[in-house]
A and B are shown apart, each in its own frame.
Chain A
Amino acid sequence: MSLPYSKKLIELFVHPKNVGEIPDADAKATEGSPACGDMVQLFLKVDPESKRIVDIKFKSYGCASNIATASIVTELAKGKTLEEAKQITWKDADAELGGLPPTKIHCAVLAVDALHTAIENYEHQHGLLKEKVPTTKEVVINRLKHVIDPRKGIDVVRAKTLKGVEVQDGVAKVYLNMREDEEFANHIKEEIVERISPLWDIKVVEVIFSNE
């Protein structure tokens, strides 16, 4: 049998490493969505002194490549400082796995994005940003491009579920073109809060549904 996957990928698919959650994680990030068919959730525990990743775990909803790439990315990041871990790219994951089929590259990108977002979230939450750029409407919209509307299978910005954004005095208000009682409303709200609340100067995230 010749599946288009390396032996290592298959091995990590069947016996993934670093699987699970870290209940008292210092940072976490979710990339992708079940609506897209791929989702990675990543948890970090960071040593506050050395800024080394002392523990990293993931959960995955996705294909074999998704599970294997999340596994390899967590292996690559474990023990590294945040600065070192930021240098990990999807190409590193791809190389470690012995090459992914072209249609599966996005799985490696997703896992690496989850790592980078988790690190970014940690830096925001722990005052480690080199340059504290104030959160603007554009910053919020960019982050919302990673929140999927499960009804449409695309992000809330492209799906036009997002009606508007306001940012003022540490309060981010996100207006949606959907009613609060609609299916997935709560799910979308949670994801928006998870995406925006780690930003260093954001104290409150309000998700406002449409009454129409």
Chain B
Amino acid sequence: MNVYLDNASSTRLDERVVEAIMKTFYEDIALPLSEFVHTPGQRVKELIEESRKKIASFVGAESSEIIFTSGGTEANNLAIKGIAYARAKKGKHVVTTAVEGRSVLDSVRRLEKSGFRVDIVPVDRYGFVDLDALERAVSGDTILVSVQMVNDEVGTIQPLEEVVKIVKSKNPETFIHTDATYGIGWIPFNVKELRVDLASFTAHKIHGPKGIGALYVKKGVSIEKQMDGGYAEFNLRGGTPNIHGIVGFAKAVEILSWDEVEKVRNLRDYLYKRIISSIPEVVLIGPSDFSRRHPANLNLSFKYVEGESVVLYMDMKGVAVISGSACFSRGLEPSYVIMAMGHSHEDAHGSIRFSLSKYNTKEEMDYTVLVLEEVIKSLRELSPLGGN
């Protein structure tokens, strides 16, 4: 049996999304810039705008507030650098958290090199941002605060409402960006209700295609474009629009179902219960209050064994998961997210992320537990640290 449990990295395309994309390959061959000269161009332009409307409506935004990008990484880069360079005269201070994705952390580090001041706010044992530290960090010259919606490694859902409240009460001029790439479609999210100024999205985590994302930029918020040479996307992101990706993204959003999310949540809970009742000495990483955890995420550390061995062994048995182990990451440092949460190096090295999707089944969960039991037992027998 083959079981794919790395959906936080990327999900399988929904057949309906594939169908929508396939149509564009044959029927929508023109570029939207040709809208003023021929009908095929107008059709493509319309398709893009229809898609933009669907995505905007899903997150509570207006169409003109959605800019298509190549994915979450580009959206995060555009948001952070775009705000920083557009507002550098108003202040040179940016705040983010220790558990953001690389595209956020590396973007703020890049800003630091250009003379911006950066504060990285710590998180607690469960990955929640330290709200007191956040409040202390925001000052008169803070132009941007970036706090992710959900951590894709440990599943922590950040208290964004409180984040916004704290930041805006400390400095109403500060803009708030959220990397919502692992959030939308899984957790209700509305940019207007949350009062965020910028939010990044991507399609491939919700059964859409890879290589397409979007950035929400609230009306009235100015950002500086990061790519020269084109006037597409309201002159904020040039380049030939990825019409296939855009249509696929919109279709993926259109067919999202909260019932399916609940199905995945139950499956995840089932997997967790079965693992902890079958295997001793397992550490849950991330929120123990599952209502504050991504419905498809489970991150566990298995004492006395190292993650990459587990991952490789499981892969040989047909189960795809990933680890926060240093060996797995190609660098030699274990997951910075798990370390920032105050876990030991050992817990980080032994961590395994199981991330589910609507395509997973109960039978697959049973098979995963069966394989996991065998793999952990076998590796613990080999371990000098014990466990058997």
Main secondary structure of the interface of A (DSSP, over half): mixed
- Tally of B interface residues using CB under 8 Å: 24
Contact B312 A64 (CB under 8 A): yes
> A3 interface residue, CB < 8 Å from B?
yes
Q: Is the CB of B384 within 8 A of A30?
A: yes
Given contacts A14-B316, A41-B384, contact A62 B345 (CB under 8 A): no
Known contacts A3-B312, A34-B349; decide if A61 and B344 are in contact (CB<8 Å). Answer: no
A2 interfacial by beta-carbon distance below 8 Å: no
Minimum Cβ distance to chain B for residue A65 (Å): 8
> B309, B346, B381: which contacts A64 (Cβ < 8 A)?
B309
Residues of B within 8 A of A59 (CB): 382-384
Among A10, A38, A104, the one with the most B-chain Cβ atoms within 10 Å of its Cβ is: A38
Binary interface profile of B, 248-262, with partner A (CB < 8 Å = 1, else 0)? 000000000000000
- Cβ of A162 within 8 Å of any chain B Cβ, yes or no, is no
Q: Which of A13, A37, A65, A104 contacts B345 (CB 8 A)?
A: A37
**Nearest CB of chain A from residue B347's CB, rounded to whole Å:** 10
User: Do B306 and A61 touch across chains, with their CB atoms under 8 A apart?
Assistant: yes
* A62 with B312: CB separation less than 8 A: no
Instruction: Say which size band chain A's interface belongs to.
Output: 20 to 34
Enumerate chain B residues within 8 angstroms of A25, measured Cβ to Cβ: none
A13 in complex: contacting residue of B312, B326, B327, B334, CB < 8 Å? B312
Interface flag for A63 (CB, 8 Å): yes
Separation of A78 and B300 alpha carbons in the complex (Å): 38
Complex CA–CA separation, A60 to B385 (angstroms):
9
A139 is an interface residue with CB less than 8 A from chain B: no
Contact of B382 among A10, A30, A67, A106 (CB under 8 A): A67
Contacts of B309 in A (CB 8 A): 13, 62-64, 66-67
What's the dominant secondary structure at chain B's contact region? helix
| B74: Cβ under 8 A from any A Cβ | no
| Closest-CB distance, B371 to chain A (whole angstroms) | 13
User: Are A37 and B326 neighbours in the complex by a CB distance under 8 Å?
Assistant: yes
In the complex the two chains form, is A64's CB within 8 Å of B308's CB? yes
The interface residues of chain A lying within 8 Å CB-to-CB of B304 are 61
* Distance to closest chain A CB from B31 (angstroms): 38
Check if A39 is an interface residue, CB within 8 A of chain B: yes
Q: Closest chain B residue to A104 by CB distance?
A: B327
CB contacts (< 8 Å) of A150 on chain B: these are: 344-346
Which of A16, A35, A60, A63 touches B308 (beta carbons < 8 Å)? A63
B314-331 contacts to A (CB < 8 Å)? 316, 325-328, 330
Smallest CB-CB A-B distances: 8 pairs: A59-B384, A63-B327, A63-B308, A41-B384, A35-B345, A37-B349, A37-B326, A153-B345
Query: What are 28 contact pairs spanning A and B, CB under 8 A?
Result: A3-B312, A10-B316, A13-B309, A14-B313, A30-B384, A34-B306, A35-B345, A36-B345, A37-B306, A37-B332, A37-B345, A37-B349, A38-B327, A39-B384, A39-B385, A59-B383, A59-B384, A60-B384, A61-B305, A61-B306, A62-B306, A62-B309, A63-B308, A64-B309, A65-B327, A66-B306, A67-B382, A104-B327
Chain A residues at the B interface, C-beta cutoff of 8 Å? 3, 10, 13-14, 16, 19, 30, 34-41, 59-67, 103-104, 106, 150-151, 153
| Extra 11 A-B pairs, beta carbons < 8 Å, given A37-B326, A61-B305 | A19-B382, A35-B344, A36-B326, A37-B349, A62-B309, A62-B327, A63-B306, A63-B308, A63-B309, A64-B308, A67-B382
